[in-house]
Amino acid sequence: MSGYAADVAALARKDLLLELRSRDTLPAMLLFVVSALTVFHFALPEDSSARAETGLLWIAIVFTALLGLTRAFAPEREDGLLDGLVLAPCDRSAIWAGKTIGVMAFLVLAELVALPAFALFFHSLSWELVAAIALADVGIAAIGTLLAAIAAASRARELLLPLLFLPLAIPVVIGGVGASVAANPGSFLGFLGLYDAVFAILSWASFEYVITE
């Protein structure tokens, strides 16, 4: 494994181990997504369209991701640990990459519960929906981790993160809902892939400037 990949793997492994032991984030994400889908199930009329139902699933996913992102840098923020990581001679973007993998892992685990719940409450899952969610996870985790790092440095972090993240999540919802219900899902999936590429590169390249003064 190359040095960079080994650094990313070590940092991602650390985040997964921290969550496994503290169980601070994932249970909250699971509870939230299942609760949200349950509320939507009872709130929607029985003859609601597949588009409306799918839209609500995407809203649940975006807010579940936001919940995970608010905790993404909690250990580093609480104990000033980002200083320790920043001082290490590894490429600082490895910190972002490791954290992004952790965020994505938690999101995927939440979706492994959310998608069966959605199928149970609403309608069956299509391959287009699953593909769109997989693509969206990459973009959400990539840009969300960068924004979580920006917010972590601020005193108003709980306020700042949603303000930064939600506008940038709008294209994900548009692409995701489009891919799930449109006749030509390919173009929407392509749009999500492009979103992933653009924001992953931007986040990777700018992370160093975000975490240094």
Task: Kindly state whether residue 167 participates in binding another protein, applying the rule CB under 8 A.
Answer: no
By C-beta, is 24 or 158 nearer to another protein? 24
Q: Which amino acid is at 188?
A: F
Q: How far apart are the first and last CA of the chain?
A: 31
**Helices 50-70, 93-121: crossing angle, 10 deg rounding:** 140
CB nearer to another protein: pick between 84 and 116: 84
Contact 85, 76 (CB under 8 A): yes
Binding flag, residue 86, another protein (CB under 8 A): yes
The CA distance from 200 to 178, in Å, is 22
Q: What is the closest distance, in whole angstroms, from the C-beta atom of residue 58 to another protein in the complex?
A: 32
Name the H helices within 79-126. Answer: 81-87, 93-121
- 158: contact with another protein by CB under 8 A: no
Tell me how crowded residue 167 is: count the other CB atoms within 10 A of its CB.
9
Among 3, 27, 116, 190, binds another protein (CB under 8 A): 3
Q: Which of residues 5-34 bind another protein (CB under 8 A)?
A: 6-7, 10-11, 14, 17-18, 21-22
- Chain residues that interact with another protein, rule: CB under 8 A: 3, 6-7, 10-11, 14, 17-18, 21-22, 75, 79-81, 83-90, 212-213
